[in-house]
């Protein structure tokens, strides 16, 4: 390291300290949950004095917890199945339409991310109430799809930004109509973005709690819904176990995605 | 290196007689296109015969790429008609025009192997699997890429990708081949080799071809006829000879090869330019006219050469270029012209600031309107 | 018609004349319109209805009733407070990351993004653990002898704000980081070469250029904070009531659609005003120095 660079690093010590402290601030709270989930005590105790897996057993042994996890999983999968194709088509349409219509469509599809979630939630609650779709999986999926849409649009739009339009033209010149071109050329080359969009849609649905508060309850509760109820009443360490598992799932998914992503980059062509 | 041999020998003699010209004719009438107040094509007419190789040549912004895209169907013209093979295709989408296209970036599908790339148009036409295999193999052999069938495009060099793009565009035997600056991404020696190879292949297949380029050398080498575009219009449309030796105006003359235009004036019964009397200059009609001074068609002389047009001037610089020397000469008009001389002997023939004459032989005297 | 020479590399028309590609977005558009827009429009209409009669009663109640005013105040104060804290803490963090050697930056950004990927419930729960009477913070502080009695952190507005800050910080850092990376290094080098000290360069060249990015980040945080529901409810323990909480209460407990939607409308109006104000200010400030 050159003398100038070293001098710069020394001067910056205070900045480094502040930065690292802030990064710790962002991440430590979440990590604190992990040891708590292995605590044997029924009340909060830090650091845990005795260790056990009882809270994990509590989760896996409870019909209600498992049922809510299953509902959340189903909702998340269906959300991906609905949101990703619809969102991909829409993002493509927005990208290839450079006029007022394109901008309006984009604004509409991005609106759930700007409007305060409670407002979206009461709207959905109101709508589903009219059709008696509250407390149903269908209602959940509809709601989560709407909430996931902005993320799908962002992910696909990012992929389209790096997309070489000429290969679509090449396909057309070779005799493929617009539909065949889209399915055989465009979509395969958006694989990475579609995977990211799917992950985002999945997580959005799995983690979604506010709308679930309105439209899912009792036996139809989603996992976050049940967690919320438990958190309000008393601090139930089972939540620590569930949270730890959720954190682990996110870490695994994100790591897998980034590994796949960097492998993809190495083998993609720059035309 | 016998480049023609590479393609020719790949095709057995028996087949060559079976291939007859099957190119579509191309008729363009009154084609116009503007992009938000910029006129890119200004009522262009163009007529191309079956099996002809036509190059659209011009500087950036001349409209040549737009014209090509209109022929392909990727740009909707504002006015005019396009007919391919006597069929009006003005509003027909690209996939139904029976054209093959090679893009500047080759546009090979990155998620498919070379073989799948070449098979793509056949699959789109629902050709049978066995037939596809055979035709893909033939197409790849034709461009000497048979061994690369299972490679991915990102593992190929620029020249190799170019051949694959060509094979893919020709495998389904289209009536018209369109090429958008296909050689611009290649280095010089490869470019010259490919010029000859593509030309040979095109002649063998007899397919009508329209190619866009800004490189006049490439145009002169490959084309049967050249259409020079300038500001959205065709300035001249003719054979290489026509365009080079008989340019219709100043733009064409200076575009087709290192030329400087010296204004011509009336002087008594004759014409002068740059302080020299024009010898045997062709009569020209009204408007401003110019004498075309080309680097390769004028010579330097210390004394005026009898029977030639001799423009007085002073040497500014001379730069040694190996087998030639490029001199820049300041004329009396203040213009600077470039003259290329072959180097004979080890001594430079002229020195800086020397007074010389730029001498143009009668046979090379060329006067053009503006 | 004007004949103009285009730059090197002519562009062709991006779109054919009759382009129907936009129709591909219709399924998504219909879904959103039906599930999101239509109900909200209906609810908005209902905000002007009470007991079957058209009225502005809901709105006047919001603006006059002390209970509602407190809620509005609380929400606004929380949002502004969280926003200010986000800037104070987030800006140094961004600056830190920007000045990290290239190879450490992805890790730092990942550490900022990781909380974002984690469920908001998990994050809120984390603060619940931390802030409780016998929670982590109190335990550590007591073990260290800093305090004798556990602090009342949970169920206060400060606890809520702390949790909200934690959630909102990444939302500020990411866009501001991007804005910082887009500042042209050459400008900073030029200033240094002209004799300005590092500090001077920072305050007179770098910081002003980051203003648009920071403003955008602040807007994002503010609007997000306006809509906070879960975190203040759980961490505030009933002492903190935000607009979102009241809207939910009106809708679910009392089925008071008019009251709920009028509050919601007020929230949207405040958010809209914030956006409008921000873009007006943005237009007034010049944004030079971009790459």
Residue C253 pLDDT exceeds 60: yes
Helices (H) and strands (E) in chain B, counts: 10, 20
Q: Which residues span the domain enclosing A123? A: 59-262
Backbone angles phi, psi at C129, to 5 degrees: -65, -45
Query: What's the Cα-to-Cα distance from B230 to each of A86, A240, B63, B271, rounded to whole Å?
Result: 46, 74, 7, 29
A45 close contact with C: CB closer than 8 A:
yes
With an 8 Å Cβ cutoff, are C3 and B37 in contact? no
Q: Which of the residue ranges A12-26, B159-173, B344-358, C189-203 would you say has the lowest mean pLDDT?
A: B344-358
Q: What is the mean pLDDT of chain A?
A: 88
C13 close contact with A: CB closer than 8 A:
no
**pLDDT per position as a tens digit, B355-370:** 888 888 877 777 888 7
Prediction ipTM score: 0.86
Give the β-pairing of B324-331 and B336-342.
antiparallel
Q: Which of the residue ranges A139-153, B146-160, B255-269, C112-126 would you say has the lowest mean pLDDT?
A: B255-269
Residue B345 pLDDT exceeds 80: no
Identify the pLDDT of residue C15.
39
pTM over 0.90: no
Q: What percent of chain A has pLDDT over 90?
A: 53
3-class SS letters over B70-132: HHHCCCCCCEEEEEECCEECCCCCHHHCCEEEECCCCCCCCCCCHHHHHHHHHHHCCCCHHHH
Identify the pLDDT of residue C9.
39
CA distance B198 to B55: 13
With an 8 Å Cβ cutoff, are A126 and C267 in contact? no
Query: Are the CB atoms for B302 and B356 separated by under 8 Å?
Result: yes
Q: Which position has the token pair 């339409």?
A: A97
Q: Which of the residue ranges A2-6, A246-250, B76-80, B328-332 would you say has the lowest mean pLDDT?
A: A2-6
CA B102 to chain centre: 16
Paired tokens of B5: 């041999």
- Chain C residues within 8 Å of chain B (Cβ atoms): 1-13, 16-18
Read off the CATH number of the domain in which A97 is found: 1.10.3720.10
**pLDDT per position as a tens digit, B208-226:** 999 999 888 899 999 999 9
Identify the pLDDT of residue B48.
95
Q: Among residues A168, A165, A122, which one has the least CA distance to residue A143?
A: A122
B213 close contact with C: CB closer than 8 A:
no
Does A22 reside within a domain? no
CA distance A80 to C209: 40
Identify the pLDDT of residue A258.
78
Identify the pLDDT of residue C240.
86
Helix (H) or strand (E) holding B165: helix B158-170
With an 8 Å Cβ cutoff, are A170 and B95 in contact? no
End-to-end CA distance of chain A: 37
With an 8 Å Cβ cutoff, are C251 and A203 in contact? no
Query: Domain residue spans in chain C?
Result: 29-284
Q: Tally the domains of chain A.
A: 1
What is the least distance, in Å, from the CA of A247 to any CA of chain C?
6
A268 close contact with B: CB closer than 8 A:
yes
A174 close contact with B: CB closer than 8 A:
yes
Identify the pLDDT of residue A242.
93
What is the least distance, in Å, from the CA of B59 to any CA of chain A?
22
| C271 contact partners, CB below 8 Å, separation of at least 6 | A114, A115, A116, C223, C226, C227
Identify the pLDDT of residue C16.
44
Contacts 24+ apart (CB under 8 A), C195-198: C198/A11
Q: What one-character DSSP code corresponds to residue B287?
A: S
With an 8 Å Cβ cutoff, are C24 and A93 in contact? yes
A29 close contact with B: CB closer than 8 A:
no
With an 8 Å Cβ cutoff, are C115 and A30 in contact? yes
Q: What is the mean pLDDT of chain C?
A: 83
Burial class (CB in 10 A: 0-12, 13-18, 19+), A13: exposed
More confident residue, C285 or A172: A172
Task: Considering only the beta carbons, identify the residue of C135, C169, C268 that sits closest to A115.
Answer: C268
Collect all residues of chain B within an 8 Å Cβ-Cβ radius of residue C1: 34, 37, 39, 42
Collect all residues of chain A within an 8 Å Cβ-Cβ radius of residue C229: 117-118, 210
**pLDDT per position as a tens digit, B305-338:** 888 888 889 999 888 888 888 889 998 888 888 9
Query: Are the CB atoms for B60 and C9 separated by under 8 Å?
Result: yes
Residue C18 pLDDT exceeds 70: no
Identify the pLDDT of residue C287.
52
Residue C5 pLDDT exceeds 50: no
End-to-end CA distance of chain C: 35
Residue B285 pLDDT exceeds 80: no
Identify the pLDDT of residue B162.
93
Identify the pLDDT of residue B16.
36
Residue C281 pLDDT exceeds 60: yes
Q: Which of the residue ranges B77-91, B149-163, C245-259 would you say has the lowest mean pLDDT?
A: C245-259
B75 close contact with C: CB closer than 8 A:
yes
Render B222-280 in DSSP notation, one character per residue: H-SEEEEEETTEEEEEE-HHHHHHS-SSHHHHHHTTTEEEEEEEEETTEEEETTEEPSS
Identify the pLDDT of residue B4.
42
Q: How confident is the model at residue A173 (pLDDT cuts 50, 70, 90)?
A: very high
Q: How confident is the model at residue C288 (pLDDT cuts 50, 70, 90)?
A: very low
Residue A160 pLDDT exceeds 60: yes
Identify the pLDDT of residue A14.
85
Q: Which of the residue ranges C10-14, C91-95, C132-136 would you say has the lowest mean pLDDT?
A: C10-14
Q: Which of the residue ranges A101-115, B121-135, C179-193 would you say has the lowest mean pLDDT?
A: C179-193
Identify the pLDDT of residue A10.
66
With an 8 Å Cβ cutoff, are A188 and B111 in contact? yes
Q: How confident is the model at residue B156 (pLDDT cuts 50, 70, 90)?
A: very high
Collect all residues of chain A within an 8 Å Cβ-Cβ radius of residue C261: 122
Paired tokens of B350: 């002229």
Question: If you measure CA to CA, which chain C residue comes closest to A165?
Answer: C14
CA distance B41 to C1: 11
3 state SS of C62: helix
Q: Which position has the token pair 């998914």?
A: A253
More confident residue, A83 or B23: A83
Q: How confident is the model at residue B297 (pLDDT cuts 50, 70, 90)?
A: confident
Does A132 reside within a domain? yes
**Residue ranges of B 30-69 with Cβ closer than 8 A to chain C:** 33-35, 37-40, 42, 59-61, 63-66, 69
Q: Across residues C168-182, what is the average pLDDT? A: 93
Q: Across residues C260-275, what is the average pLDDT? A: 89
Choose which CATH entry (2.30.110.10, 3.40.220.10, 1.10.3720.10, 3.50.50.60) describes domain C29-284.
1.10.3720.10
Collect all residues of chain C within an 8 Å Cβ-Cβ radius of residue B37: 1-2
Identify the pLDDT of residue A265.
59
Q: Which of the residue ranges A2-11, A159-168, C201-210 would you say has the lowest mean pLDDT?
A: A2-11
Residue A148 pLDDT exceeds 70: yes
With an 8 Å Cβ cutoff, are C16 and B76 in contact? yes
Q: How confident is the model at residue C62 (pLDDT cuts 50, 70, 90)?
A: confident
| C80 contact partners, CB below 8 Å, separation of at least 6 | C222
Residue B126 pLDDT exceeds 50: yes
Q: How confident is the model at residue A264 (pLDDT cuts 50, 70, 90)?
A: low
Q: Among residues A54, A49, A48, which one has the least CA distance to residue A33?
A: A48
B339, β-bridge pairs: B327
Backbone angles phi, psi at A27, to 5 degrees: -105, -30
Mutate: best of A27, A30, A116, partner C, most C CBs <10 A:
A116
Q: What is the mean pLDDT of chain B?
A: 86
With an 8 Å Cβ cutoff, are B111 and A173 in contact? no
Strand order in the sheet with B26-35: B38-48, B26-35, B79-84, B87-88
Give the β-pairing of B270-273 and B259-267.
antiparallel
Identify the pLDDT of residue A268.
47
Show which subunits contact C, needing at least 3 CB pairs below 8 angstroms.
A, B
Give the β-pairing of B99-102 and B176-180.
parallel
Q: Which domains does chain B have, with CATH numbers?
A: 3-11+21-245 (3.40.50.300), 259-369 (2.40.50.140)
Query: Are the CB atoms for A139 and A133 separated by under 8 Å?
Result: yes
Question: If you measure CA to CA, which chain A residue comes closest to C138?
Answer: A46
What is the least distance, in Å, from the CA of A253 to any CA of chain C?
10
Identify the pLDDT of residue B8.
40
**Residue ranges of A 178-207 with Cβ closer than 8 A to chain C:** 203, 206-207
More confident residue, A236 or C74: C74
A101 close contact with C: CB closer than 8 A:
yes
Contacts 24+ apart (CB under 8 A), B8-13: B8/B200, B8/B204, B10/B141, B10/B142, B10/B144, B11/B142, B11/B204
**pLDDT per position as a tens digit, B95-114:** 999 999 999 999 999 999 99
Mutate: best of B120, B136, B153, partner A, most A CBs <10 A:
B120
| Cis preceding-peptide flag for B39 (omega within 30 of 0) | no
Q: Across residues C145-170, what is the average pLDDT? A: 84
Q: Across residues B275-288, what is the average pLDDT? A: 75
| C157 contact partners, CB below 8 Å, separation of at least 6 | C74, C78, C236, C239, C240
Question: Which ranges in chain C belong to alpha helices (H)?
Answer: 26-32, 38-46, 57-64, 66-98, 105-117, 120-131, 136-143, 157-181, 185-193, 198-201, 207-226, 230-236, 243-248, 257-284
Q: How confident is the model at residue B283 (pLDDT cuts 50, 70, 90)?
A: low
Give the β-pairing of B79-84 and B53-57.
unpaired
Integer Rg of chain B from CA: 24
CB atoms within 10 A of CB A107: 11
Q: Across residues A203-219, what is the average pLDDT? A: 90
Identify the pLDDT of residue C189.
85
């Amino acid at each position: 390291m050159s003398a100038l660079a070293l001098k710069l690093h020394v001067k910056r010590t205070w900045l480094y300290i502040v930065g690292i402290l802030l990064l710790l601030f962002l991440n430590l709270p979440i990590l604190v949950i992990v040891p708590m989930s292995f605590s044997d005590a029924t009340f909060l105790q830090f650091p845990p004095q005795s260790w056990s897996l009882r809270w994990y057993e509590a989760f896996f042994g409870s019909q209600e917890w498992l049922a809510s996890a299953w509902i959340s999983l189903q909702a998340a999968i269906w959300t991906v199945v609905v949101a990703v194709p619809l969102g991909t088509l829409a993002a493509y349409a927005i990208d290839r339409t450079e006029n007022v219509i394109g901008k309006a469509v984009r604004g509409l599809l991005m609106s759930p991310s700007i409007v305060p979630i409670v407002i979206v939630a009461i709207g959905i609650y109101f709508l589903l109430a009219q059709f008696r779709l509250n407390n149903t999986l269908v209602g959940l999926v509809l709601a989560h799809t709407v909430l996931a849409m902005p993320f799908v649009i962002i992910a696909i739009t990012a992929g389209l930004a790096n997309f070489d339009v000429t290969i679509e033209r090449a396909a057309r010149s070779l005799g493929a109509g617009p539909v065949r071109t889209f399915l055989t050329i465009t979509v395969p080359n958006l694989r990475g973005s579609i995977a990211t969009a799917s992950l985002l849609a999945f997580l959005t649905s799995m983690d979604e709690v506010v709308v679930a508060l309105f439209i899912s309850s009792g036996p139809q509760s989603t996992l976050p819904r049940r967690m919320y109820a438990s958190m309000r009443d008393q601090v139930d360490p089972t939540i620590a176990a569930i949270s730890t598992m959720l954190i682990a799932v996110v870490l695994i998914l994100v790591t897998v995605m980034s590994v796949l992503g960097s492998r993809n980059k190495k083998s993609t062509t720059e035309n | 290196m016998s480049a023609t041999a590479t393609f020719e020998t790949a095709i057995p003699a028996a087949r060559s007689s079976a291939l007859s010209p099957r190119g579509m004719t191309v008729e363009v009438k009154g084609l116009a296109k503007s992009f938000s107040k910029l006129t890119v094509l200004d009522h262009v007419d163009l007529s191309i015969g079956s099996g002809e190789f036509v190059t659209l040549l011009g500087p950036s912004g001349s409209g040549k790429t737009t014209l090509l895209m209109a022929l392909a169907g990727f740009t909707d013209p504002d006015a005019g008609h396009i007919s391919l093979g006597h069929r009006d295709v003005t509003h027909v989408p690209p996939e139904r025009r029976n054209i093959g296209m090679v893009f500047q970036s080759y546009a090979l599908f990155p998620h498919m192997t070379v073989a799948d790339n070449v098979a793509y148009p056949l699959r789109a036409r629902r050709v049978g699997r066995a037939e596809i295999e055979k035709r893909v193999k033939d197409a790849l052999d034709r461009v000497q890429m048979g061994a690369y069938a299972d490679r991915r495009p990102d593992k190929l060099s620029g020249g190799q990708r170019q051949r694959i793009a060509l094979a893919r565009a020709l495998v389904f035997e289209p009536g018209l081949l369109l090429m958008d600056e296909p050689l611009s991404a290649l280095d010089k020696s490869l470019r010259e080799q490919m010029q000859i190879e593509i030309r040979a292949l095109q002649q063998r297949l007899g397919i009508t071809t329209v190619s866009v380029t800004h490189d006049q050398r490439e145009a002169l080498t490959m084309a049967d006829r050249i259409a020079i575009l300038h500001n959205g219009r065709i300035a001249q449309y003719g054979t290489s000879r026509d365009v080079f030796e008989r340019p219709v105006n100043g733009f064409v003359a200076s575009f087709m090869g290192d030329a400087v235009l010296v204004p011509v004036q009336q002087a008594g019964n004759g014409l002068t330019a740059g302080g020299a009397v024009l010898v045997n200059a062709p009569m020209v009609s009204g408007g401003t006219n110019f004498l075309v001074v080309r680097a390769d068609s004028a010579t330097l002389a210390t004394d005026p050469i009898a029977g030639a047009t001799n423009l007085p001037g002073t040497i500014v610089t001379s730069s040694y270029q190996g087998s030639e020397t490029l001199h820049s000469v300041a004329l009396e008009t203040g213009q600077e012209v470039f003259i290329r001389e072959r180097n004979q002997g080890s001594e430079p023939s002229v020195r800086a600031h020397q007074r010389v004459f730029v001498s143009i032989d009668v046979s090379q005297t060329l006067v053009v309107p503006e | 018609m004007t004949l103009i020479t285009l730059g090197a590399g002519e562009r062709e028309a991006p779109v054919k004349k009759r382009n129907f590609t936009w129709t591909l977005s219709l399924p998504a558009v219909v879904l959103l319109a039906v599930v999101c827009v239509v109900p909200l429009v209906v609810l908005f209409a209902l905000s002007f209805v009470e007991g079957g009669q058209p009225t502005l009663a809901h709105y006047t109640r919001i603006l006059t009733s002390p209970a509602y005013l407190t809620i509005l105040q609380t929400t606004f104060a929380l949002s502004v407070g969280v926003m200010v804290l986000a800037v104070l803490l987030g800006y140094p963090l961004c600056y830190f990351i920007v000045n990290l050697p290239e190879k450490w930056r992805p890790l730092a950004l990942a550490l900022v993004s990781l909380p974002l990927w984690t469920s908001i419930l998990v994050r809120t729960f984390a603060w619940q653990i931390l802030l409780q009477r016998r929670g982590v913070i109190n335990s550590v502080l007591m073990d260290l002898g800093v305090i004798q009695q556990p602090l009342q952190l949970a169920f206060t507005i400060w606890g809520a704000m702390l949790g909200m800050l934690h959630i909102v910080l990444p939302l500020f850092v990411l866009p501001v980081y991007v804005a910082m990376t887009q500042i042209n290094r050459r400008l900073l080098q030029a200033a240094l070469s002209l004799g300005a000290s590092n500090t001077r360069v920072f305050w007179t060249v770098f910081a002003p250029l980051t203003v648009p990015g920071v403003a955008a980040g602040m807007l994002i945080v503010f609007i997000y904070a306006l809509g906070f529901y879960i975190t203040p409810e759980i961490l505030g323990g009933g002492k903190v009531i935000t607009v979102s909480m009241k809207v939910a209460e009106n809708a679910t407990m009392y089925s008071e659609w008019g009251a709920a939607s009028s509050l919601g409308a007020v929230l949207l109006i405040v958010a809209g005003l914030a956006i409008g104000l921000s873009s007006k200010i943005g237009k007034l400030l010049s944004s030079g120095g971009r790459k």
